[in-house]
């Protein structure tokens, strides 16, 4: 199957920007066991893709404990002939950045860390189960396999970047953004479970803690104290009743009260209480902050943990597109070129006890990643208007 699509490009070196349409071709090669990819000199065995996915799943890498996954990927990529750089984030935590001898004009990227708990790999004829199967161990395997397919064809201007801490504060992406190789990259193809659809936009995120203060007392004499929990509950109810902004493309702003804690025991009026909230943003974060602070009205302390605005992503024609509500490393990789977002698997399976990835989608993802990289590399000597803002410090 051959798919044609168009990319709008802005030519460098002209006084007036000229936009042209370039017609590019993506050839789809089904990947079956031991089937040669025409013209590449490469024999692609999907079992290699599946075995790598399972090996990665079987290495626990809950956020904060990614060292073993990083060690495995470093050794594996070095054995394939890549130059591997470990970008240290903190002791025993590092990103893995792999390149060939050529400058990495296109970089395939996703994250090594997962949410807890670790779940070992298992499989049947159609799917692979386990923690990180679709978020994002299967994506790592598909990206490496795609890069190997490109190298076998003589396409070497592709790099691989695998980060830590995406499931928390994207500290790995922040560190990667400060590294000099970022300036060589023209396109960043980030992998998250989008059902192999090319995302055109993602919601923003605002994560915060509310801290309420009171005065402790014996619970038999509540008038002698001031309950921090009751204060916090009043604030949270007002937040639940709040009308948040909406957007025609991204939909509604949503607010999740994810964690509540406070008090010491039932016979003590609680002096402290807190809640952790995450809002999924559809417009400017400062506008939402203003609404939030007006609702809280000084009844609790607001501590902002991380914030970034919604992102409009770079897209090309010929791909089914979608808008996603979740956030990614992309806002913190603003120096790595134009961002694209696509990957196998469903976000509805991510973070669940039954997380899985379809083998068919994994095979398709290899073709999509390789074809997308080829097509982007074909836009040599062009630049694109528009930049994204880096995420604010956590």
Cα gap 35→231, rounded to integer Å: 65
Catalytic site residue from 66, 166, 167, 361:
166
- H or E element, residue 51: helix 46-57
Cα gap 78→72, rounded to integer Å: 10
- Torsions phi, psi of 180, nearest 5? -55, -35
Cα gap 321→201, rounded to integer Å: 9
- H or E element, residue 305: strand 301-308
Catalytic residue flag (residue 252): no
Cα gap 210→212, rounded to integer Å: 7
Ramachandran region, residue 171 (left: φ > 0; alpha: ψ -120 to 50; beta: rest): alpha
User: Contacts from 33-39 at CB under 8 Å and sequence distance 24+?
Assistant: 37/149, 37/152, 37/153, 39/153
Nearest alpha-carbon partner for 385 in 15, 17, 106, 5: 17
Residues carrying an active site annotation: 166
């Amino acid at each position: 199957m051959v798919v044609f699509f168009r990319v709008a490009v802005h030519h460098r070196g002209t006084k007036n920007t000229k936009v042209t349409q370039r017609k590019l071709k993506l050839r789809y090669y089904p990947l079956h066991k031991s089937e040669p990819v025409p013209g590449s000199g490469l024999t692609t065995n999907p079992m290699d893709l599946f075995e790598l996915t399972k090996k990665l799943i079987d290495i626990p890498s809950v956020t904060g404990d990614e060292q073993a996954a990083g060690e495995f990927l470093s050794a594996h990529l070095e054995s394939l002939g890549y130059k591997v750089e470990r970008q240290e984030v903190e002791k025993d935590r590092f990103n893995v950045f792999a390149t060939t001898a050529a400058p990495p004009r296109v970089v395939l990227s996703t994250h090594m860390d997962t949410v807890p708990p670790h779940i070992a790999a298992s499989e049947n004829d159609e799917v692979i189960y386990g923690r990180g199967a679709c978020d994002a161990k299967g994506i790592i395997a598909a990206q490496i396999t795609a890069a190997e397919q490109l190298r076998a064809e003589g396409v070497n201007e592709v790099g691989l970047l695998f980060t830590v801490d995406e499931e928390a504060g994207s500290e790995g992406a922040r560190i990667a953004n400060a590294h000099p190789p970022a300036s060589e990259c023209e396109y960043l193809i980030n992998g998250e479970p989008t059902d192999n659809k090319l995302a055109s936009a993602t919601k923003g995120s605002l994560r915060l803690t509310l801290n309420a203060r009171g005065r402790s007392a014996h619970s038999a004499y509540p008038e002698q104290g001031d309950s921090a929990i009751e204060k916090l509950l009043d604030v949270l109810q007002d937040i639940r009743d709040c009308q948040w902004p909406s957007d025609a493309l991204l939909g509604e702003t949503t607010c999740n009260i994810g964690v509540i804690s406070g008090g010491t025991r039932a016979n003590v009026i609680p002096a402290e209480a807190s809640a952790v909230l995450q809002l999924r943003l559809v417009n400017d974060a400062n506008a939402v902050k203003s609404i939030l602070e007006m609702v809280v009205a000084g009844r609790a302390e607001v501590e902002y943990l991380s914030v970034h605005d919604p992102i409009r992503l770079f897209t090309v024609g010929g791909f089914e597109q979608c808008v996603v509500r979740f956030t990614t490393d992309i806002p913190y990789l603003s120096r790595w070129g134009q961002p694209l977002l696509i990957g196998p698997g469903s976000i509805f399976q991510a973070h669940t006890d039954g997380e899985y990835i379809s083998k068919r989608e994994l095979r398709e993802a290899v073709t999509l990643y390789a074809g997308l990289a080829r097509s982007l590399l074909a836009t040599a000597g062009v630049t694109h208007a528009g930049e994204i803002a880096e995420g604010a410090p956590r």
